Amino acid sequence: MININDFKKVELRVGTIVDVDGFPEAEKPAYKLKIDFGGFGLKQSSAQITDHYLPKELMNLQIIAVVNFPPKKIASYASEVLVLGANGEDGGIILLELDKPIQNGAKIS
């Protein structure tokens, strides 16, 4: 088990998806996302969310991501943040979303 201090090391922030591209080089189907985290800047992420989302559905969607993991190289792409989601019954990922708009970069606590 982890304790509260371990959990506090994980920095969760709100961001808005501002660009979505296909990612045919990825081993598993994925999108390349650009996400606006307000004062924390634009970050990019690879997300395996193609089962439940079309690119146009993702545009301007506010999501939650871990922003303090080191970048992960996927094919030739550096994924800078980990977008959070839950495993759906069919195995596809369902994104964690907010029910009301909030400022980009807001910390999840």
Judged against a pLDDT cut of 90, whether residue 4 lies above it is answered with yes
Contacts of the segment 32-39: beta carbons below 8 A, 24+ positions apart: 32/77, 33/58, 33/83, 35/63, 35/65, 35/81, 35/83, 36/104, 37/13, 37/65, 37/67, 37/81, 37/104, 37/105, 38/103, 38/104, 38/105, 38/106, 39/105
Judged against a pLDDT cut of 90, whether residue 23 lies above it is answered with yes
For residue 90, the model assigns a pLDDT of 87
Mean pLDDT for 75-100 is 94
Give residue limits of the domains in the chain: 13-95
Q: Which CATH class is domain 13-95?
A: mainly beta
For residue 91, the model assigns a pLDDT of 84
Confidence of residue 63 (pLDDT cuts 50, 70, 90): very high
Model's pTM, two decimal places? 0.94
